[in-house]
Every structure is written in structure tokens, then in C-alpha cells.
Amino acid sequence: MAVILWKLWRLAVDGAWSSRKARRIVQTGTAETSVQRNVRARFVSAALKARELPDTLAREEVARLAAHELAALRGGLRPLELIVTIAPLIGLLGTVLGMIDAFQALETSGGQADPSVLAGGIWEALLTTAAGMAVAIPAAVALSWFEGIVERVQLDMEDLATRLFTQASEPQRPAA
């Protein structure tokens, strides 16, 4: 839960849901100084500066800038991936240990086990399985949602960069 809340906070700080400022920068062609808290606007402002380079270098620089921003947005997703993978395995380990306890109780009783003794091991097995799934399921949902947000930012960056470079290469038309 802490990783999910931290990631939500980081995405909010980075302005992952806001594209208005970046679109305004593309329309005006003027970089803004107050873009530190908006990933798209930071990217577009840096891409505006890169436009001054020769075309091939400018495109490589924009790709580098996008990769850097997207890597920062993906930060913290690895621990969630690990939680999604490991939590069910820990639950399964608890299941196995609980079943071992149940079978040991059955063995020590010589086949005349008290059902309440067996139930303790089975209860432990089911509890740990449920706990593992209770951790993994929300983590998997959050991971998928966060990855979707990063993909949306990536698509927006591609669109913004394309618009930025096509605007720069359009011939100036005389006003009618």
C-alpha cells in the first residue's frame, strides 16, 4: 500500500494527468520557466531547445529526453512487479507449511486425529493463501493502471514532439 500511495503522489507531483501546459507551449512555440512540476511541459520545453540542432541530432535528442522522462515516471514500478510476483508465492509457502502441520498432526495421532487439530493446519494454509492474494491483487491492479498512465504520457510526448517538429518545418503562409 505504501508503494502505491508513493507512486500516486509521484505521478501527481510530475503532473502525469495534465497536458494543457505542454499543448500551450507547442502552440506558442515558447518555452515556459515554470515547468518543473509537469512532465509533458518539461519535455516540450527541452524539445524546443533541441529544435535548434540539426534535424537528425534534434530527433535523437528529443528521443533521449523522452526516454529519460519516461524512465523517471516508471520509477517505483519494479517494486510493485516484485510484490505482484512474490505475494502469491509467500501465500503458497504458507499453504504448504499449513498442510505439513496438518499432516504431522494426523501422523502423530496415529490416524485418529481430532478434526480440530487438522483444522488448525488447514486454517493456516487457507489464511496465508488469502493473505498472499489480498496483497497481490491490488498491487497488480495498481501496476496495470500506473503502466497505462505512463503509456498515455508516452503517446502524448510522441504527439507533442511530432506537432513541434511539423510546426517548425511548415512553410510560413502569407496572411490572407
Please state the rounded mean pLDDT for residues 91-118. Answer: 80
Which residue carries 510522441 as its cell?
Answer: 158
Of 27 and 31, more confident:
27
Burial class from Cβ neighbours inside 10 Å (0-12, 13-18, 19+) for residue 44 reads: buried
Query: 119 pLDDT exceeds 70?
Result: yes
Phi, psi of 137, rounded to the nearest 5 degrees: -65, -50
Q: Is the pLDDT of residue 136 over 80?
A: yes
Considering the entire predicted model, what is its pTM? Answer: 0.79
* pLDDT of 34 higher than 70: no
User: Strand runs (DSSP E) across the chain, as ranges?
Assistant: none
Question: pLDDT at position 138, please?
Answer: 96
pLDDT at residue 105 above 80?
Answer: no
Task: Take residue 92 and report the three cell numbers written for it.
Answer: 503458497
pLDDT (average), residues 156-164: 91
Q: Is 18 exposed, middle or buried (0-12, 13-18, 19+ CB in 10 A)?
A: middle
pLDDT at 175: 47
79, amino acid identity: P
CA distances to 5, 35, 122, 135, 171 from 156, rounded to whole Å, are 24, 16, 51, 32, 24
- Report helix angle 2-13 to 115-169, nearest 10: 10
Percent of the chain residues topping a pLDDT of 90:
43
Banded model confidence at residue 130, pLDDT cuts 50, 70, 90: very high
Please give the average per-residue pLDDT across 14-20, as a whole number: 87
Residue type at 105 in one-letter notation = A
Residue 23 pLDDT exceeds 50: yes
The per-residue pLDDT for 170 is 55
3: exposed, middle or buried (Cβ count in 10 Å: 0-12, 13-18, 19+):
middle
Average of per-residue pLDDT values in the chain? 86
Structure confidence by residue, pLDDT tens digits, 70-100: 999 999 999 999 999 999 999 999 888 888 8
Burial status of residue 5 (CB atoms within 10 A of its CB: 0-12, 13-18, 19 or more): exposed
The residue extents of the domains of the chain are 9-76+150-168, 77-143
Q: What percent of the chain has pLDDT over 70?
A: 91
